[in-house]
Structure 1
């Protein structure tokens, strides 16, 4: 009986948790994630609307264009 009660409590608790990475909002055309801190494999691009950082993986960061000299 106690195992059944524990199972019900566990299922109810899991039902209220967000799945996977859905807690992060997407940014930079869906390639980045709005977070408080970026990971070591990511770089900060710009601020998200909620004042968090838009973190992009180093491979997806656009290269800076060279200025044209006239």
Structure 2
């Protein structure tokens, strides 16, 4: 019986998902992501409101008009 309780407790601890969103904040009209560091497939565009980097994929074109709609 003790083994079953230990197994259940272990599964509950390992299966815990932290509360809150694990996705990065979006920037550049939802095309970029606010991160501490950009990945190798991304380029730095501008700073996000929380002073992190707005990273945009190299496959997307950064046009000046995209930034005006939201940060």
Q: TM-score, normalised by structure 1?
A: 0.65
What does the per-residue CA deviation read over 1:3-61, in whole Å, with 9 as the maximum and x for residues that have no partner? 44444444355443268x83310000001100000000000000000000000000113
Q: How many residues in Structure 1 have an aligned counterpart in Structure 2?
A: 63
Q: Distance in 2 between matches of 1:11 and 1:61?
A: 44
Structure 1 pair 11–38 and aligned structure 2 pair: CA distance change class (3 A): same
RMSD of aligned alpha carbons: 2.7
Match of 2:18 in 1: 17
Match of 2:57 in 1: 57
Higher relative contact order (CA 8 A, sep 6+): 2
Q: TM-score, normalised by structure 2?
A: 0.64
- Structure 2 unaligned regions, length at least 5: 65-71
Structure 1 pair 17–49 and aligned structure 2 pair: CA distance change class (3 A): same
